[in-house]
Structure 1
């Protein structure tokens, strides 16, 4: 084991920052309470370990060589987002890091390429997507990964003194995802639909559907390499999303879109009549091809050309940006987008 950084180094999150971070988890991971709860527990644990190490100057507790290992399975939507959510949420506090490990088929050594400066720090996240595919690509890579998870240590080479220091990974989270059950889940939910979503207008009870998805995953996970499964602390099964979840995500995408058109500025979107439902239904049809990204694509399709053309033409400027709204309406069944200023409204 190794001592943590001095008090001048990394600092634990305050209680308010923890609460804000978990609220961020809930906001971004719509319809996935099990994932939110798991990430919250991880954050509480790692912050408590860091807090003890920083606050006790005399005989400070060591950081344990015991990284958290999560396995995410179930629907396709949310796995990649959940795997990256901790560093996304902590970026505002200058905390956390993200490392994505991908095996190289031509690498006979199965090198992990773990940088101690990125992974042996508080709230580090290391992601390996589709662990079963990684195993097929490079068995040695997965063997090396299992060894690191088992020892909980990573070597830090001190070239000046010609020494190697073992650094503990007790403040890091390894997130593994798997699609080993995806084919059977798709067959159960909607053979012709997009994985991770309940069929539209379904009479399937969401809780019963989730329990069946859990049973499918529990059977399928036995196909994964046992040396990896032995290191997993918690397996989290993602829920298939229903209509209400998708509408909530669509409204979140609208809110993010308002902030993201011109970063740092807010350009509000107002829907008239049935325009909101019309755009949602159009996006809903794109789920089978684009997944949940279809909810953002439909906004980009209609709004971007109008806004950016107006900005280039000088009709929309930094001076009148705050006094402008994007208005979306239906005219003869077609979506119409226009920019309206406070002066126009008056």
Structure 2
């Protein structure tokens, strides 16, 4: 057996508009109306013979904050590992800092993709500057926190 997954940006404007409204209502699921509009768009762009060969159409679902937190945790685990291997440094990231990363890095168009770049540019750069300045000795624990304005090291 083989599973083939096809993706398309068809209807992305419908999805973005609908999800913006739905998030305000506390959900990340597409409305039935948006799904209906996308179905109509699919039928207008693809021949019935092609659509009939598809077993299922899965609609986009935006990430929840918990899912975003898991992605941030995975990226930070990678950073922790590199810090431990290279400089034998430990990394602790507060909940406030993680929330700031999630709120700042998430993009409704690109989803979670910017998280890695955000962590590289904001967290890793902050840590690298502190290491270069000699603020932390081997075996130290660096704590990244959010002070209400920016990420800070403690």
TM-score with structure 2 setting the length? 0.66
1:328 corresponds to 2:144: yes
The corresponding residue for 1:221 is 42
The correspondence for 2:18, drawn from 188, 200, 205, is 188
Higher relative contact order (CA 8 A, sep 6+): 2
Q: Secondary structure at the match of 2:6?
A: strand
Decide whether the 8 Å contact of 1:279 with 1:298 is kept in 2: yes
The corresponding residue for 1:251 is 73
Shift of 1:177: 0.9
The corresponding residue for 1:270 is 92
The corresponding residue for 1:175 is 5
CA distance in 2, matches of 1:220, 1:211: 14
Q: Secondary structure at the match of 1:235?
A: coil
Decide whether the 8 Å contact of 2:130 with 2:136 is kept in 1: yes
Decide whether the 8 Å contact of 2:123 with 2:151 is kept in 1: no
If you compute each CA radius of gyration, which structure gives the higher value, 1 or 2? 1
Deviations 1:174-224 (A, max 9, x none): 332112121222232338xxxxxx53xx125445x3544433332222134
Q: Secondary structure at the match of 1:175?
A: coil
Q: Secondary structure at the match of 2:76?
A: helix
Decide whether the 8 Å contact of 1:185 with 1:213 is kept in 2: yes
The corresponding residue for 2:122 is 302
TM-score with structure 1 setting the length? 0.35
1:281 corresponds to 2:103: yes
Q: Which runs of 5+ in 1 are unaligned?
A: 1-45, 47-67, 69-172, 192-197, 339-346
CA distance in 2, matches of 1:216, 1:242: 24
Decide whether the 8 Å contact of 1:275 with 1:329 is kept in 2: yes
Q: Which runs of 5+ in 2 are unaligned?
A: none
Deviations 1:37-71 (A, max 9, x none): xxxxxxxxx4xxxxxxxxxxxxxxxxxxxxx3xxx
Shift of 1:328: 0.7
Deviations 1:115-159 (A, max 9, x none): xxxxxxxxxxxxxxxxxxxxxxxxxxxxxxxxxxxxxxxxxxxxx
Decide whether the 8 Å contact of 1:303 with 1:337 is kept in 2: no
Q: How many correspondences in the alignment?
A: 152
Q: Which has the higher helix share?
A: 2
Decide whether the 8 Å contact of 1:272 with 1:327 is kept in 2: yes
Q: Which has the higher strand share?
A: 1
